[in-house]
């Protein structure tokens, strides 16, 4: 084959895709608001919508434009060790608010409404009321100011990414307390999510007061519960009635001044 033919074949040969660059959250939206004279700007997100047990924890974060921790990302893309490190850095340099919607509230109002309630409460818990709020998802919240819902916001908006980290670490710490109070369920490992270990514990031990009765697998477990089975002891943040405030344990690992 001639050189010309070889070169033509190479030119027409299909090329392997280079792959898309990973999406990382940025501060563009917050900075645009700042340029319009709108500040403070908060991002908020929640953790714990999917689990069969435990509360939903929401966080709101106002980042300092001059002191943004490096490495912020969607909490789902970070391992537990990295989340813990970033959690401490965020709390050290940013304004943070945290709120907890109990299992009782989830069962009473449904998971969506309980999550939106917690997100709004997290914004209210911020030391400085924000002038604008970005919230992860497709639902706006009662933030007391203008609010924009951003789908996949934890992967796009830096302040939402920071909030996702705070919410995830805060909830994991609470679930570790639940795990210590209820040996055998593995809450400290699966955080209440529907995994084989959890399903097996539900079958063997039955549901605890932390399990969401409005979720089908838990409702089924209650139906199959053996007569006389012992009910596990509830932690303080789960025993308070939904209308009560605050809904967080006094012994919680969260900073008391930043939680409601």
Residue 252 in domain: no
Number of structural domains (the chain) is 1
5 belongs to a structural domain: no
Residue 102, in any domain of the structure: yes
Give residue 257's pLDDT band: very low, low, confident or very high (50, 70, 90): very low
Q: Give 228 or 170, the one with higher predicted confidence.
A: 170
Q: Is residue 2 part of a domain?
A: no
Q: Confirm whether 9 is domain-assigned.
A: no
Beta bridge partners of 132: 41, 146
Cβ contacts of 86-90, under 8 Å, gap ≥ 24: 86/162, 86/165, 87/165, 87/166, 87/169, 87/170, 90/61, 90/162, 90/165, 90/166
Q: What is the pLDDT of residue 23?
A: 79
Distance between CA atoms of residues 116 and 136, nearest Å: 11
Quote the tokens at residue 211: 């399990």
- pLDDT, tens digit, 9 for 90 and up, residues 131-153: 999 999 999 999 999 999 999 99
> pLDDT tens-digit profile of 79-125?
999 999 999 999 999 999 999 999 999 999 999 999 999 999 999 99
Please answer whether residues 206 and 155 qualify as being in contact, where contact means their C-beta atoms are separated by less than 8 angstroms.
no
Of 168, 104, 181, the C-alpha closest to 136 is 168
Please report whether residue 112 resides in a domain.
yes
Instruction: Provide long-range contacts, Cβ within 8 A and 24+ apart, for 22-28.
Output: 23/155, 23/156, 24/73, 24/155, 25/72, 25/73, 25/74, 25/154, 25/155, 25/156, 25/157, 25/158, 25/160, 25/161, 26/156, 26/157, 26/158, 27/63, 27/65, 27/68, 27/158, 27/159
* Residue 148: inside a domain: yes
Res 234 pLDDT > 50: no
Strand partners, 141: none
Chain mean pLDDT for the chain: 85
Q: State the residue range of the domain holding 161.
A: 22-226+234-244
Q: How far apart are CA 40 and CA 145, in angstroms?
A: 11
Retrieve residue 234's tokens. Answer: 């509830």
pTM, two decimals, is: 0.81
Residue 249 belongs to a domain: no
Mean pLDDT value of segment 40-52:
97
Q: What is the CATH number of the domain that holds 71?
A: 3.30.420.10
């Amino acid at each position: 084959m001639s050189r010309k033919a070889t070169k033509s074949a190479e030119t027409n040969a299909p090329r392997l895709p280079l792959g898309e660059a990973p999406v990382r959250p940025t501060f563009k939206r917050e900075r645009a608001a700042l340029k319009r004279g709108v500040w403070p700007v908060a991002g908020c997100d929640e953790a714990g919508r999917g689990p069969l047990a435990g509360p939903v924890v929401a966080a709101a974060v106002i980042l300092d434009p001059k002191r943004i921790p490096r490495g912020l990302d969607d909490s789902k893309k970070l391992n537990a060790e990295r989340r813990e490190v970033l959690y401490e850095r965020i709390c050290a340099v940013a304004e943070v608010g945290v709120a907890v919607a109990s299992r009782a509230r989830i069962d009473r109002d449904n998971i969506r409404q309980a999550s939106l309630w917690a997100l709004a409460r997290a914004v209210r818990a911020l030391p400085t009321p924000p002038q604008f709020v970005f919230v992860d998802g497709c639902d706006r919240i009662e933030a007391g100011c203008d609010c924009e819902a951003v789908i996949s916001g934890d992967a796009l908006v830096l302040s939402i990414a920071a909030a996702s980290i705070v919410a995830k670490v805060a909830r994991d710490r609470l679930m570790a307390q639940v795990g210590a109070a209820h040996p055998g369920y593995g809450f400290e490992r699966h955080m209440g999510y529907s995994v084989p270990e959890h399903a097996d514990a539900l079958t063997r031990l039955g549901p605890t007061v932390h399990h969401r009765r409005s979720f089908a697998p838990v409702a089924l477990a209650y139906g199959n519960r053996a007569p006389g089975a012992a009910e596990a002891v509830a932690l303080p943040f789960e025993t308070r009635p939904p209308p009560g405030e605050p809904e967080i344990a006094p012994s919680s690992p969260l900073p008391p001044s930043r939680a409601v």
